[in-house]
Every structure is written in structure tokens, then in C-alpha cells.
Amino acid sequence: MAESVERLQQRVQELERELAQERSRRLSGSGDVGGGRARIEKMSPEVVDSNPYSRLMALKRMGIVSNYEKIRTFAVAIVGVGGVGSVTAEMLTRCGIGKLLLFDYDKVELANMNRLFFQPHQAGLSKVQAAEHTLRNINPDVLFEVHNYNITTVENFQHFMDRISNGGLEEGKPVDLVLSCVDNFEARMTINTACNELGQTWMESGVSENAVSGHIQLIIPGESACFACAPPLVVAANIDEKTLKREGVCAASLPTTMGVVAGILVQNVLKFLLNFGTVSFYLGYNAMQDFFPTMSMKPNPQCDDRNCRKQQEEYKKKVASLPKQEVIQEEEEIIHEDNEWGIELVSEVSEEELKNSSGPVPDLPEGITVAYTIPKKQEDSVTEVTVEDSGESLEDLMAKMKNM
């Protein structure tokens, strides 16, 4: 009898343990509750229903990519795991990227359910934790490193810089690419500062507050314009960010626009890492008219960021040291980039809207306007520079700013 009680007590303990495990799997916020697939040592091109890489390895047979399996050797950092960042992370995970580093300090809310990826039962969890669970289940071959903090604080910035420099696939090596999927000016400027200092190539992405336009941008420090050289450009309504922070006011968003921006961002990442197609320096998306402007921008020699200016000097030296043939090729490529398809940019932003912008506004091609403006400081009001219809160049404006 005593034995029986002991056995029953053991059984109760066992069951309680199992139940707790089941519950934690279910409530882990992942929605992905086991039953996932086993790890795969080597990517195979074999065409069987059980091979999750068959359709990707087929890119080799189709003549698109010569070395698809190289995807496993890359580490990509994603800052911001919201509407664009989460889908970006999922696409790279499904493509079999080597390692993902995710940075976000926000929590999942039901108000995020109008965009892809997160599910209602994850509400309240940290975005990076919820994302890691889901992504690990989708592809256990990918390595994940997540950081639940705000990169813009001094302390976290140092750690962020350290992980960009050392968090590569092999610890101690830098990551291969940083992707900015954040929704505010300060975080973009922070990523820009870090990447200029480290000479780290990165890609910017953004969606307008009215949800119907977005863009991606490739920034190679010293070679293309950085975020401080000029506010990034996009065909978008020009609303000061601060207006979005007011109580009871929030930006609109759509799963469509964010899905398209994540799609063109990760496509650019794949082309950049696996060396196929034309990598875009800038690609915009105007959903109202199905208009996709492309362009490229040279860095500003008077950029406020001294590390940008330093990178520009180094890039100049590098180009000067190349055999002449290669330099010419490079120039041609840039021209090619500029207006390959003869696409004309057409204005959709009124002069009035442009006047209402704050911060330095560069001399832009017709129809291109700034997506982000520098938020006005609230206490010590900085004198505002607005451009009405002047022919002033970016350099003139920057010089003016410096003399204030």
C-alpha cells in the first residue's frame, strides 16, 4: 500500500512536470510548439518533398546564383523587429542564412496584428524573444543571438558596436551586413554613427507614416551617401516625426506595404551577399501609383559625421590605388545604376509640404523629397533651415548650418 502511494506520488510528479513542459511550449509565445524539423548538416539540391532547401538550391540549376549554399556563411544583424524587421528576419531564416542577430526593446501588442509575423497569443512578450522562438522552429539550422534593449542609450550603444564587430558567424569576426528596420530618426542616426565608425556596410529601410510608401537604401561608408550626409530620400509625405508621438495619434500601417519593403530589402541582401543581379543603392515604393524610383547618391564631403569623412578619404585612396581599367568600370557602373531604365521621377509632393519640413534639405531631383526630417528640439530651439525654391545645394545648406 505504501509502495502504491509512492508510485502514485511519483506519477503525479511526472505528470505535473510533463504538463508544465507542454504548457511552457504552448505559452512560450512561439506559436511554434515543437514538431519542427531536425537540423540539416549540408544543403542538398535533392528534389524531394522533405528537403526544405530544394527550391533554393534550384537557383543554381536555373543559372541565377552560382553558390547558393554560401548563404550559410553569412551573419546579418537586424535592428528593429517590427512590421518590416520581423518579416525580414523570417525571409532570411527561410533562406537558410548562417546567423541572425536581432535587436529590439519593444513588446508585441495586439495593435501590431495588422502586420505579418506576430500572432495574438504572443502579445506581451518581448519582440526578440517571440521572434526567436518562431524562427528557430521554422529553421533550426540558423543561429540566433537576440538583444532586448534600446541601442540608442550610451551603454547599449557600446554593446551594440561590440556585437556588430564581433558577432559574426565566427565569434570575433564582424557581421556581414546590418539592416535598419527601425521606425524613428534617432535609431537610424545611431546605426549610421556605428556603421561609419566601423566601416560597416548596412541597408536602411522605411515606411511612411501614411502607410502607402516606403524605401530601401544601401549605405557603403565612404562610397555612398550616409544617413547624416543628407536625410534619406523617399517619395513620401513629409510629416515631422514628433507629430506621431502625441497622445492618441498613431501612424497608419499596412501588411502589404511592409511586406513589399521587407521583400525588396531581403532581395537586395541576397543579391549583395550571393553576388547576382543589380544591387540597388536606393529603391522606393509608391503604393498609390505603383511607382518604384531608383537612384544613387554620392557621400557629402562636408558630412557632419567625421567618420563618414574619414571613410570617404579611405575610399578615395582605395579607388586611386586600383588599376585604371577598374576605376573606369566602377564609374560606368554608377552611371548605369543612376538611370538604367530611363525612369522619370514625377513630383507628388507640393511645394507647401516641402516648406513645412525641418532640418537641412538637399537639392533634390524633381519629385524626390525627404522621408525623415530632423526632429525640432523642444527646449533650446535650433534655428530652422527651410528651403523654399532656392537653388541652394546640399553643401551650401550644410555650410550655413555649421555657421549658426
Binders of a second copy in range 214-233 (CB under 8 A): none
Q: Which of these, 357, 343, 397, lies nearest to 237 by C-alpha position?
A: 357
Site for a second copy in 300-339 (CB under 8 A): none
* Nearest residue (CB) to a second copy, 111 versus 335: 111
Residues 6+ apart with CB under 8 A from 374: 185, 231, 358, 359, 360
Question: At closest approach, how far in Å is the CB of 70 from a second copy?
Answer: 15
**Per-residue binding letters, 170-209, with a second copy (x by CB under 8 A):** ---------------------------------------x
Q: Which of these, 103, 87, 101, 227, lies nearest to 175 by C-alpha position?
A: 101
Give yes or no: 195 in active site.
Answer: no
Write down the catalytic residue from 95, 181, 250, 303.
250
* Nearest residue (CB) to a second copy, 187 versus 270: 270
Distance CA 124, CA 133 (A): 14
Query: End-to-end alpha-carbon separation of the chain, Å?
Result: 91
* Residue 154 interacts with a second copy (CB under 8 A): yes or no: no
Strands 143-147 and 282-286, how do they pair? Answer: unpaired
Site for a second copy in 115-144 (CB under 8 A): 115-116, 119-121, 123, 137-139
* Residue 356 interacts with a second copy (CB under 8 A): yes or no: no
Assign 3-class secondary structure to 317-344.
Answer: HHHHHCCHHHHHHHHHHHHHHHCCCCCC
**Per-residue binding letters, 385-404, with a second copy (x by CB under 8 A):** --------------------
Q: Is 17 helix (H, G, I), strand (E, B) or coil?
A: helix
φ/ψ of 213, rounded to 5, equals -150, 160
φ/ψ of 180, rounded to 5, equals -95, 115
Question: At closest approach, how far in Å is the CB of 2 from a second copy?
Answer: 8
* Nearest residue (CB) to a second copy, 64 versus 143: 64
Among 33, 143, 189, 334, binds a second copy (CB under 8 A): 33
Residue keyed to cell 503604393: 287
Question: At closest approach, how far in Å is the CB of 376 from a second copy?
Answer: 21
**Per-residue binding letters, 40-69, with a second copy (x by CB under 8 A):** -------xxxxxxxxxx-xx-xxxx-----
